[in-house]
Structure 1
Amino acid sequence: MTHYLAELYTPKPAWLALTETERQQFFAAIGSAMPALSALGVEALALGKVDRTKAHAAPQTFFAVWRCPDDAALGALIDGIAQSDWHDYFETINAGGEATDFPGHLAQLVETARR
């Protein structure tokens, strides 16, 4: 079953203190790890800057949405992000898990009322 990861993140002072060259080196290291994740079926669906003009906008600066074919690939993505030292440079909130359709999600919401 398909799994997704939605990330919201904001640069930390450690990121802001890096030079442009250091930032490019960091991204080069991340780029070198992407083929292994792609081989697992991990796909970056959308990445961008949070539009704060939208109602109920997140306070974080950036977002990323990833699709993974299964829980193992999702775990590899989350582990890879952590191993890259990403969290040293960005305050990150993750929301990930198995996807369902709209009726399935409504059933999940109804189920929470029964607990």
Structure 2
Amino acid sequence: MTHHLTELYSPKPAWLALDQLDRQRFFEKIGAGMAALSAIGVEAIAFGEAEAAVVHAPSHRFFALWRAPDASAIEALVHSIAASGWHDYFETVNVTGSGVGINDHLAQLAAL
């Protein structure tokens, strides 16, 4: 069953202290790991800066949305992100789960 990962993240002081060359090196390291993730069906859907003016906006500045064929692929993605050193530079919140339609989700809520 298709699974999704939503990341919310903000830069830590360690990221802000890096110069542009070190940031570029870090991004190259991230890019190098993407082929293996793509091979198991992980898809990057969207990335961006969170709009602070929206009602109930998160405290985190950025977001990433991912899709994968199953929970094990999402787990591989989360572990790959951690292994890259991402969390040394960004305070991150991960939300993951299988996606369902609105009626099924309403049923999940009603069952609480």
TM-score normalised by the chain length of structure 1:
0.96
User: Matched residues in 1 for 2:111 and 2:74: separation?
Assistant: 25
Superposed counterparts of 1:20-59, under 5 Å: 20-59=20-59
1:59 to partner: Cα distance: 1.0
1:52 to partner: Cα distance: 0.6
After superposing on structure 2, the runs of 4+ consecutive aligned residues of structure 1 that deviate more than 3 Å are: none
Q: Which amino acid aligns with 1:82?
A: A
| Matching residue of 1:80 | 80
SS of the residue aligned with 1:63? strand
User: Matched residues in 1 for 2:102 and 2:110: separation?
Assistant: 12
Structure 2 residue 101 is matched with structure 1 residue 101: yes
User: Matched residues in 2 for 1:53 and 1:64: separation?
Assistant: 18
CA RMSD of aligned residues (A): 0.6
Structure 1 unaligned segments of length 5 or more: list them. Answer: none
Percent identity, aligned pairs only, is 54
> For each residue in 1:52-90, what CA deviation from the matched residue of structure 2 results, as whole angstroms up to 9, or x when unmatched?
111111110100000011011000000000000100000
Q: Which amino acid aligns with 2:89?
A: Y
Structure 2 unaligned segments of length 5 or more: list them. Answer: none
